[in-house]
Structure 1
Amino acid sequence: MNNRVVLDLLIERGTLSRGDVRDLTGLSKPTASQLLTRLEESGLVLPSGYGETGPGGRAPQLYAINPGAGHAAAVDVRPESISARIADISGVVVAEFEITQLPDPRGPENVAQVLAGACGIAGIAVDELDAIVVAVPGSYDVAEDLLRYAEHLPGWQQPGIGEELRRHLGKAAVSLENDVNLVALAEHRASDVAGESFFLLWLDEGIGGALMMDGSLFRGSRGAAGEAAFLLPPGSRLDGEHRSKGAFEGLVGSDALREFAADAGHPVGSTADAIAALLADAGAAETIQEIAQRYAFGLASVIALVDPSRLILAGEVARIGGSRLGDAVAAHLDRLVISAPPLGLAAVADAPILEGAMLLSLDLARESVFTT
């Protein structure tokens, strides 16, 4: 237990002296010294220079986590690309690699390929990874070992998908996780507020959501909690197509936003281009308000059910929309609900899916390495 406490302190603070360990843990001087010696002998800790000279005229030896003691990997699986990131056990990113033209057949075997490329850059073997978190645009049902809501992801629909993935990835602890859940995890770490509850609405090529309850991700009984595309706000249709793709997706998803842009005279190929064109068009102000109201309709249902302490808009559409879109959504919410929680934009803008996946992967890797 003392070992793990000190290792976690080293992760948090970077370096510690024997005196620091004694002061932070309450351990006696001999025990703190023995503990650091034991961790150094185990290969988990390395000497890391000297601190400032103290009253006795001697500079204390500093210690740091041995970055090579373990490695964690994060993988982001998209319909047309797969990207990977590897970090050493201290959290420093040592490699990134991406495949933008996926070979057939598509599926878990392509994850092994992108990880092999990333590991080659990092100078390690895939078998040396201690944890791998794979982010997928769908909901992973752990009990059934099945990925749901992922019809747009070729090669990932078969039962036993997690077991198949593990067969391709060697010895590491492998976890499948919904991509938007991982964005919420990154936001939670960025806020550094213990025990908070919030709902994150993902606005990108697709619509998604994630629910943080009392500081923990709420995944639901089958991993499908937060699938905001399937909300049924006013104006949505429930026919065969919208039942499979989501009624809220039909109202505010990629097709809807591109249709709005085309009607305003801006035929574009992506959701991001659609919202950018509408925002730049002074004559499309009413359209922006209509889109914001539709987002607010969906969020109003979430508020009624879970009463989150705050709402977050994330994804490329939210980033491009910025405060103008966010303020419009908040204004419509104030008219729809009695007491709307604060609404803000995501704090993590750079590859938030990979960021969240890496945070979870490092947690799993450290649990494995530090408790061995």
Structure 2
Amino acid sequence: MKTATPTLARAINDRLALDLLLERGPLTAPQLRTLTGLSRPTVSDLIERLRVDGLIEVTGETGEDRRGPNARLYGVVAGRAHLAGVDVRRDAVHVTVADLAGGVVDAVTRPLPPSPDLAAVIAETVAEAAGGRALNTVVLGAPGLVHPRTGLTTDSGVPGWRADLLPVIRDMLGVRVLLENEVNLAAIAEHRVGAAAGHDDFALLWLDDGVGGAVVLDGRLRRGASGGAGEVGLLRFEGREFCSLLEADVVRDLAPGVIADRIVQCVFTLVAVLDPGLVVLGGATGRRGGEELATLVARRLHDLSPAPTRVRPSAMEGNAVLQGAVLTALDLTRDTVFGGT
């Protein structure tokens, strides 16, 4: 087994310290020593190196309640880089710009006009939200299949959609841009900070103005060979597509038990094939139904499947797709700015 070179060891230690500063907030040098297990000279060198590189700064002092000099508090320079998450809907484009610490800088929503130049609308909305700030990474979420290697898409149903939307927007913005299926991004948000936090295996059933799914196994989002993993809206029950049975407008006035009867048909298919152990009901219907709907689905599923499966409503506040886009862009930006290890 090869040992780490001094350069690699420094890079690993630097990233460890930066991640701790992001996770726990400003820390002193003694706190960094305790949390990392590194020696005093190593932490001193690390702090000096990160300060010179403009990645951390002194944010205050602590220790006023004890004798002796106060200890400096160090924090990440949040404004060192900015990123954007974008949720492309059939009626509007939503953009959130955040800094390196994940703090929201600005958010803009722009309705889509009839027959829009979609790429131009997205680029203009991103630029408005950025407010002149240079962006490191932009992550877009949209309906439809996104090929995991080429980034080319199927028709999403969004006005003005084009299969080559990704390269066109990259040219317009002049920054790194990634395109991802919107339900996949919602699943990333649920996995990181929502109902699936702490679970390596789960399926998200998205019930909104569109119906779809996303699959996370062994802690990794699974896209499939062509980006079609989780597209449960195409399943047919009694001659009807699942999406036509459970779109938000269709179920709005139905009783919870009737909605649960429809949902469980799809959930049973997911459980029988994947055995995820957890199914999250997301989108407007999943959030509105809450624990009551999740419990009804779980009871019906128990009668159908021998595989133990928990069913939970989404725990996301606000736009889960947009939050997943920001989280994904944040990870990529930090890797770029902090350096890969």
The aligned counterpart of 1:90 is 101
Deviation, 1:256, is 4.0
* 2:224 maps to 1:220: yes
319 and 85 in structure 1: CA distance in 2 versus 1, 3 angstrom threshold: same
30 and 117 in structure 1: CA distance in 2 versus 1, 3 angstrom threshold: same
Looking at structure 2, the residues matched to 204 and 195 of structure 1 have their Cα atoms a distance apart, in angstroms, of 24
Looking at structure 1, the residues matched to 197 and 284 of structure 2 have their Cα atoms a distance apart, in angstroms, of 25
The aligned counterpart of 2:212 is 208
Cα pair 1:194 1:215 within 8 Å, conserved: no
* 2:27 maps to 1:16: yes
Cα pair 1:195 1:213 within 8 Å, conserved: no
Cα pair 1:292 1:328 within 8 Å, conserved: yes
Cα pair 2:248 2:284 within 8 Å, conserved: no
Amino acid at match of 2:223: R
Kindly, what percent of the aligned residue pairs are identical? Answer: 37
* 2:117 maps to 1:111: no
* 2:302 maps to 1:299: no
Query: What are the Cα deviations for residues 222-274 of structure 1, in whole angstroms up to 9, with x where unaligned?
Result: 11111110123x4134xxxxxxxxx21122235643xxxxxxxxxxxxxxxxx
The aligned counterpart of 1:41 is 52
Looking at structure 1, the residues matched to 319 and 248 of structure 2 have their Cα atoms a distance apart, in angstroms, of 20
TM-score normalized with structure 1 length:
0.83
* 2:151 maps to 1:145: yes
The aligned counterpart of 1:269 is none
Which runs of 5 or more residues in structure 2 are unaligned? 1-10
Amino acid at match of 1:183: A
Looking at structure 2, the residues matched to 253 and 198 of structure 1 have their Cα atoms a distance apart, in angstroms, of 22
61 and 317 in structure 1: CA distance in 2 versus 1, 3 angstrom threshold: same
The aligned counterpart of 1:360 is 328
Query: What are the Cα deviations for residues 109-131 of structure 1, in whole angstroms up to 9, with x where unaligned?
Result: 211110111012xxx33xx1011
Query: What are the Cα deviations for residues 122-164 of structure 1, in whole angstroms up to 9, with x where unaligned?
Result: xx33xx10111111112211334321251x1122233x33211
The aligned counterpart of 2:139 is 133
TM-score normalized with structure 2 length:
0.90
Partner of 1:61, secondary structure, is: strand
Equivalent positions of 1:56-95 (< 5 A) are 57-95=68-106
Partner of 2:106, secondary structure, is: strand
Partner of 1:141, secondary structure, is: coil
* 2:239 maps to 1:236: yes
Equivalent positions of 1:215-364 (< 5 A) are 215-232=219-236, 234-237=237-240, 247-254=241-248, 256-257=250-251, 275=252, 277-278=253-254, 285=255, 288-364=256-332
Looking at structure 1, the residues matched to 81 and 149 of structure 2 have their Cα atoms a distance apart, in angstroms, of 29
318 and 92 in structure 1: CA distance in 2 versus 1, 3 angstrom threshold: same
The aligned counterpart of 2:38 is 27
Looking at structure 2, the residues matched to 174 and 86 of structure 1 have their Cα atoms a distance apart, in angstroms, of 14
Moved over 6 A (4+): none
Which runs of 5 or more residues in structure 1 are unaligned? 238-246, 258-274, 279-284
Cα pair 2:63 2:71 within 8 Å, conserved: yes
* 2:200 maps to 1:189: no
Looking at structure 1, the residues matched to 198 and 300 of structure 2 have their Cα atoms a distance apart, in angstroms, of 29
Cα pair 2:191 2:199 within 8 Å, conserved: no
* 2:203 maps to 1:199: yes
Cα pair 2:151 2:179 within 8 Å, conserved: no
54 and 41 in structure 1: CA distance in 2 versus 1, 3 angstrom threshold: farther
Amino acid at match of 1:167: D
Cα pair 2:201 2:217 within 8 Å, conserved: yes
Cα pair 1:204 1:316 within 8 Å, conserved: yes
Looking at structure 2, the residues matched to 332 and 111 of structure 1 have their Cα atoms a distance apart, in angstroms, of 42
